[in-house]
């Protein structure tokens, strides 16, 4: 009897564990574009194009490899609009002995799939996702008994496990585990940022763009100028482009923000790594080779590898250890609604406008825009975690719950009480001024704090510090902030809190 092998939209690799030991002549691979997955959040239009097109290309590749593939293309009139319904129908059609799939990346879907064996009346085998370097169990074993989980220590374990950037004596290459201190330069236009890697849409992608324009035009963003890779081969081209042209400067300008450049020296590889078009370990190995062959400096290569081997694995471990409760956390007690300008970019704050506008056009913003601009604002303004989390899940081409949620709820909003990060990434306008050239072009004045044209980040920062004294005053990494706050004259503190109160009462007008 045949097995039914389900491959999800973010599992697009021939090495996916669900395909291991399968029989091409007997088993049937099922892939489906379904309404429920395309609409559980307001996915950016480019994300839907990317996934549907990449799924279609991958299904063709499987067929040419000799697999029998049942592929459902999206149509609003399709009878089956959920993965469960499509799988249920195919189980009956082929009289499947068993459903085999690889564990998915979201609690929501994982919970559904876990009930299929009962609801569909067929055994369901859920295999580990071997694309990750640490299994869920390995992470849980590492975390057990630790009072605080810190990425840096987990990352060192992963360096030892993979041997990436390790000497034969088991020491870190370059004599240090972490070169982050070298990675904080402001970018002033030189060296020139590389041209972006572009793939022009082929016939399949053009069909999908037309489909998204027709059926998903109410979703955030636009399909205009779609240029993502949609095959493993082209994603490999994107990796090579990054290694050749951007990696050498990746470290120096990792934290920089520009008023004119959307992409700077970032890799733009997360949409491909997360959907299966690129393998994370292979990406890290390619970067390490660039250092060994003298094509990129150690601060760039170590910094890049740390993001994938460290942060990416770390947040995934945290997600699976703590779901589903993690998504409900709101330890700072935030109650404010997400301002509407997150969806329009229509705000006079230049940094926010630029980050949101790039997000709308590209389904991409780099890490520091996500963390220190849109994230920082949501933290300072006390936005409800579920609203800001849903925004981040919707707007980026690389967004999946397992990686978005810990980054937003933990790293940005500190809503988990410091489980993921030892201190909140709260910052005033001065930080944005130091790392970008936005402030010179902004309606608001970064050197002012209490006036009506003062940068909102300034007063909001002190309001955040003041209102969360009980949460942070004893945090050794926050002590200096409280000493600075307490040192200010009472009239100054009052003026700052008054200005912040006005801002919070009028968020939509900023
Ligand atoms: P680069 O800067 O070139 O970094 C290289 C790679 O490292 C990335 O491709 C990614 O795979 C990995 N990486 C870097 N930082 C992180 C991190 N903090 N967590 C996990 N992986 C990381 N990343 C996602 O993949 N999906 C998300 O939904 C997502 N949401 C985020 C939300 C917020 C608020 C923040 C602060 C970060 C988020 N990140 C997310 C992490 C990071 O911002 C993106 O991975 C990165 O911007 C992707 O662009 P890039 O490929 O050019 O990354
Ligand atoms: C994000 C997404 C979208 C937009 N559409 C589909 C789809 O139609 N079919 C599918 O199999 N997967 C899709 N996905 C990805 C899933 O919603 C989900 O995020 C991941 O499979 C979790 O691992």
**CA 147 centroid distance within chain:** 26
Radius of gyration of the chain (CA): 24
DSSP 319-363: HHHHTTGGGG--TT---BPPPTHHHH---S-HHHHHHHHHHHHHS
Phi, psi at 99, each rounded to 5°: -100, 135
13 Cα to the center of ligand 1, angstroms: 20
- The CATH superfamily label for domain 3-127 reads HUPs (3.40.50.620)
List, in order, residues 6 or more apart from 368 with CB less than 8 Å away: 254, 255, 256, 257, 435
Atom of ligand 2 nearest to the CA of 33: 8
Atom of ligand 1 nearest to the CA of 316: 20
DSSP 232-263: HHHHHHHHHHIIIIIHHHHTTTTT---SS-SS
Question: What's the CA gap between 313 and 318, in Å, rounded?
Answer: 9
Q: Whose CA is nearest to atom 29 of ligand 1?
A: 404
For residue 300 and ligand 2, the question of a CB distance below 6 A is answered with no
Per-residue pLDDT of the chain (510 residues; tens, 9 = 90+): 899 999 999 999 999 999 999 999 999 999 999 999 999 999 999 999 999 999 999 999 999 999 999 999 999 999 999 999 999 999 999 999 999 999 999 999 999 999 999 999 999 999 999 999 999 999 999 999 887 889 999 999 999 999 999 999 999 999 999 998 877 889 999 999 999 999 999 999 999 999 999 999 999 999 999 999 999 999 999 999 999 999 999 999 999 999 999 999 999 999 999 999 999 999 999 999 999 999 999 999 999 999 999 999 999 999 999 999 999 999 999 999 999 999 999 999 999 999 999 999 999 999 999 999 999 999 999 999 999 999 999 999 999 999 999 999 999 999 999 888 889 999 999 999 999 999 999 999 999 999 999 999 999 999 999 999 999 999 999 999 999 999 999 999 999 999 999 999 999 999
What stretch(es) of the chain map to CATH 1.10.579.10?
340-509
DSSP 3-state of 367: helix
Atom of ligand 2 nearest to the CA of 48: 4
Q: Are 334 and 317 in contact (CB under 8 A)?
A: no
Say how many C-beta atoms besides its own lie within 10 A of residue 77's C-beta: 5
- Which ligand is nearest the CA of 126, by number? 2
64 Cα to the center of ligand 1, angstroms: 33
What stretch(es) of the chain map to CATH 3.40.50.620?
3-127
Give the fold, CATH level 3, of 340-509. Answer: DNA Cyclobutane Dipyrimidine Photolyase, subunit A; domain 3 (1.10.579)
Say how many C-beta atoms besides its own lie within 10 A of residue 169's C-beta: 5
CATH class of 136-322: mainly alpha
Phi, psi at 166, each rounded to 5°: -120, 140
**CA 130 centroid distance within chain:** 19
Atom of ligand 1 nearest to the CA of 242: 3
306 Cα to the center of ligand 2, angstroms: 27
- Which ligand is nearest the CA of 38, by number? 2
Q: Whose CA is nearest to atom 12 of ligand 2?
A: 9
What stretch(es) of the chain map to CATH 1.25.40.80?
136-322
Q: Are 16 and 126 in contact (CB under 8 A)?
A: no
Question: Half-sphere exposure of 132 toward its Cβ, with a 13 Å CA cutoff?
Answer: 24
């Amino acid at each position: 009897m045949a097995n039914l092998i389900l491959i999800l939209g973010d599992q697009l690799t021939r090495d996916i564990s669900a395909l291991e030991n399968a029989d091409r002549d007997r088993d049937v691979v099922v892939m489906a574009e379904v309404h429920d997955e395309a609409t559980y959040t307001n996915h950016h239009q480019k994300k839907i194009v990317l996934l549907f097109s990449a799924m279609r290309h991958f299904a063709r590749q499987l067929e040419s490899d000799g697999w029998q593939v049942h592929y459902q293309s999206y149509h609003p009139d399709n009878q089956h609009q959920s993965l469960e319904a499509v799988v249920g129908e195919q189980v009956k059609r082929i009289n499947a002995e068993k459903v085999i799939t690889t564990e998915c990346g979201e609690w929501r879907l994982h919970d559904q799939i876990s009930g299929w064996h009962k609801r569909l009346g067929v055994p369901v085998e859920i295999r580990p996702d071997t694309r990750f370097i640490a299994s869920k169990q390995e992470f849980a074993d590492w975390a057990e008994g630790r009072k605080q989980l810190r990425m840096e220590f987990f990352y060192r374990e992963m360096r030892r496990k993979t041997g990436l950037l390790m000497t034969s004596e088991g020491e870190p290459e370059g004599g240090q585990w972490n070169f982050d201190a070298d990675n904080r330069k402001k970018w002033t236009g030189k060296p020139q940022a590389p041209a972006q890697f572009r793939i022009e849409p082929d016939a399949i992608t053009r069909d999908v763009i037309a489909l998204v324009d027709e059926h998903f035009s109410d979703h955030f963003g636009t399909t205009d100028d779609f240029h993502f890779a949609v095959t493993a081969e082209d994603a490999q081209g994107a990796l090579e482009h990054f290694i050749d042209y951007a990696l050498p400067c990746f470290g120096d300008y990792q934290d920089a923000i520009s008023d004119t450049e959307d992409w700077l020296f970032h890799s733009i590889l997360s949409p491909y790594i997360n959907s299966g078009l690129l393998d994370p370990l292979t990406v890290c190995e390619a970067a390490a080779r660039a250092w060994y062959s003298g094509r990129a400096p150690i601060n760039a290569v170590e910094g890049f590898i740390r993001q994938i081997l460290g942060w990416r694995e770390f947040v995934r471990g945290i997600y699976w250890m703590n779901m589903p409760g993690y998504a409900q956390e709101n330890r700072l007690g935030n109650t404010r609604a997400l301002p509407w300008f997150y969806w329009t970019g229509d705000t006079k704050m230049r940094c926010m406008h630029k980050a949101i506008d790039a997000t709308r056009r590209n389904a991409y913003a780099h890490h520091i825009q996500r963390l220190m601009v849109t994230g920082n604002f949501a933290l300072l303004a006390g936005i409800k975690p579920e609203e800001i989390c849903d925004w981040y899940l919707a707007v980026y081409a690389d967004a999946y719950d397992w990686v978005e949620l810990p980054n937003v709820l933990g790293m940005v909003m500190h809503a988990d009480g410091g489980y993921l990060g030892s201190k909140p990434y709260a910052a005033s306008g001065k930080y944005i001024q130091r790392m970008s050239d936005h402030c010179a072009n902004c309606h608001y004045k970064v050197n002012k704090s209490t006036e009506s044209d003062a940068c909102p980040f300034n007063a909001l920062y002190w309001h955040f510090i003041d209102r969360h004294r009980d949460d942070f005053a004893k945090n050794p990494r926050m002590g200096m902030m409280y000493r600075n706050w307490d040192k200010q004259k009472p009239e100054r503190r009052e003026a700052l809190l008054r200005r912040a109160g006005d801002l919070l009462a009028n968020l939509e007008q900023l």
